[in-house]
Amino acid sequence: MKILQVIPKLGYGGAETGCYDLAHFLYEKDCKSFIITSGGHLLKYVKKNKVKIFKLPVHSKNIILMLINTLIISLITIIYNIDIIHARSRAPAWSCLWACFLTRRKFVTTFHGTYNFSNVIKKFYNSVMVKSKLIIAGSNFIFNHINENYEKFLNSKNKLMVIFRGINLEYFNEKNIAEHKKKKLISDWNLDTEKKTILLPGRLTSWKGQDILIEALNILIEDYNKTNFQAVILGPDQGRRVYSKKLFSLVERYQLNQKVRFISHVKDMPVAYSIADIVVSSSIEPEAFGRVAVEAQAMKKPIVASDIGGSKETVLNGKSGILYKSGDARELAKVLNKLIELDKEALYSMGNEGRKNVTRKFDVEKMCQTTFTEYKKLLK
């Protein structure tokens, strides 16, 4: 079996790591594995003896480039005798759809997000993701979103199914974190080990709700008289200077400079999770899956997440974490106060439930094996 995955960029996001993990898994199953991408940080980690990489501008929405990409993908498909083309985003999906039409190959898509469909043109552009023989939804939330919003584009001959995204449970495992790495990061970030550490990972963009967390931290001090905490907002602004300045101003206004640290990047994410006591995902728009919530649970950390999107499926509310009303800083403060008051044993017990939950449902091996099985069914 020869599988070609096409993704705009091979960065550190959920779609990208899923592509990376599946590509290497397929090699171990005696398949030939190929990726077309325009670049990305994960490229340097791809084992070139296992996965063949082609670099094309598949991130582009320029119609001329999309047509050129179609021809090149078709050529690659014919030369390497590809069996299945798997697209993981809309722009490359159009090129892949046309290439599959020209070469008569099987077409697969993974619907990774809700995408903007504010008008008819955008909805049609998005609809390419449901024109494949196999449409994979990364969560039940996405599955329902597709059925509710793209019903007229769905073909009964095509299969729509949920394959939960998976994470590498060996990589996200507290037992594999060296003590000296923890100490170094605590020192680098100038953290006080006597205080509870709240970690919010994710790029600085308004829908991730970092401002909601800052508001909640102020309420923690003002209404609950809590001072035994510190917070790390971890993620790049990716050029969103207006929003990042807004966050800095909020911290200044509430005099939280000694409480909040902004860190743009960390080399080893599991180490960052390991030094946190509580992890927060404060998105004000639905997460398609909610990778932070799953990674935190894998690392045995209690997760506080907004009650929308994929988090409702990935978090065991009251057991592995707590869901709060999205966008409600007061409710987030109330939940954080409750967790800050718990002792280490209670927090660890909650973390243990999280690890069990992720092991049961969100293991990368399970994701890869299920996808591999579906590939085989397509070729029968």
Q: How confident is the model at residue 342 (pLDDT cuts 50, 70, 90)?
A: very high
For range 188-216, the mean pLDDT: 95
Q: Which two tokens stand for residue 92?
A: 């490359």
CB 23 within 8 A of CB 46: yes
pLDDT tops 80 at residue 116: no
For range 2-11, the mean pLDDT: 95
Nearest CA among 136, 54, 184 for reference residue 367:
136
Look at residue 39 in the predicted model and tell me its pLDDT.
Answer: 93
Nearest CA among 38, 51, 49 for reference residue 10:
38
Strands, E, within 277-335: which ranges? 278-281, 303-306, 321-324
Q: What is the pLDDT of residues 286-299, one digit of tens each?
A: 888 888 999 999 99
Residues 336, 341, 347, 353: is their CA dihedral positive or negative?
A: negative
Q: What percent of the chain has pLDDT over 70?
A: 100
Look at residue 41 in the predicted model and tell me its pLDDT.
Answer: 86
Q: How confident is the model at residue 347 (pLDDT cuts 50, 70, 90)?
A: very high
Cβ atoms within 10 Å of 213's Cβ, excluding its own:
25
pLDDT tops 90 at residue 371: yes
- To 5 degrees, how large is the angle CA 349–CA 298–CA 15? 150
Spatial separation of the C-alpha atoms in residues 293 and 286, rounded to whole Å: 13
The DSSP result for 7-61, as a single string, is -S---SSHHHHHHHHHHHHHHHTT-EEEEEES--GGGGGS-TTTEEEEE--TT--
Look at residue 11 in the predicted model and tell me its pLDDT.
Answer: 82
For range 37-44, the mean pLDDT: 92
For range 107-118, the mean pLDDT: 87
Look at residue 188 in the predicted model and tell me its pLDDT.
Answer: 95
For range 176-190, the mean pLDDT: 96
Cβ atoms within 10 Å of 93's Cβ, excluding its own:
28
Look at residue 232 in the predicted model and tell me its pLDDT.
Answer: 97
- Sheet containing 196-201, strands listed edge to edge, beginning at the edge strand earlier in sequence: 260-263, 229-234, 196-201, 278-281, 303-306, 321-324
Spatial separation of the C-alpha atoms in residues 65 and 83, rounded to whole Å: 24
CB 282 within 8 A of CB 210: yes
Spatial separation of the C-alpha atoms in residues 117 and 137, rounded to whole Å: 17
pLDDT tops 90 at residue 115: no
Q: Decide: helix, strand or coil at residue 266.
A: coil
Which residue segments constitute the domains of the chain, with CATH numbers given? 2-166+363-378 (3.40.50.2000), 174-361 (3.40.50.2000)
Look at residue 239 in the predicted model and tell me its pLDDT.
Answer: 79
Q: Helix 63-79 and helix 90-103: axis angle, to 10°?
A: 50
Work out the mean pLDDT of the chain and round it to a whole number.
Answer: 94
Spatial separation of the C-alpha atoms in residues 14 and 34, rounded to whole Å: 19
pLDDT tops 80 at residue 80: yes
For range 264-284, the mean pLDDT: 95
Phi-psi region of 370 (alpha: psi -120 to 50; beta: other; left: phi over 0): alpha
φ and ψ of 134, to 5 deg: -130, 120
Q: Helix 364-378 and helix 14-28: axis angle, to 10°?
A: 70
Q: Decide: helix, strand or coil at residue 84.
A: strand
- Sheet containing 159-162, strands listed edge to edge, beginning at the edge strand earlier in sequence: 51-55, 32-37, 2-6, 84-87, 106-111, 134-137, 159-162
pLDDT tops 90 at residue 110: yes
Write the single-letter amino acid at 212.
I
What is this structure's pTM? Answer: 0.87
Q: How confident is the model at residue 362 (pLDDT cuts 50, 70, 90)?
A: very high
For range 292-307, the mean pLDDT: 96
Look at residue 296 in the predicted model and tell me its pLDDT.
Answer: 97
Phi-psi region of 39 (alpha: psi -120 to 50; beta: other; left: phi over 0): left
Look at residue 119 in the predicted model and tell me its pLDDT.
Answer: 86
Q: How confident is the model at residue 55 (pLDDT cuts 50, 70, 90)?
A: very high
Q: How confident is the model at residue 28 (pLDDT cuts 50, 70, 90)?
A: very high
Contact partners, residue 259, CB within 8 Å, separation at least 6: 217, 221, 229, 230, 231
Look at residue 339 in the predicted model and tell me its pLDDT.
Answer: 96
Residues 332, 338, 342, 348: is their CA dihedral positive or negative?
A: negative
Look at residue 156 in the predicted model and tell me its pLDDT.
Answer: 87
Look at residue 21 in the predicted model and tell me its pLDDT.
Answer: 93
Q: How confident is the model at residue 96 (pLDDT cuts 50, 70, 90)?
A: very high
Half-sphere exposure of 38 (CA within 13 A, CB side): 13
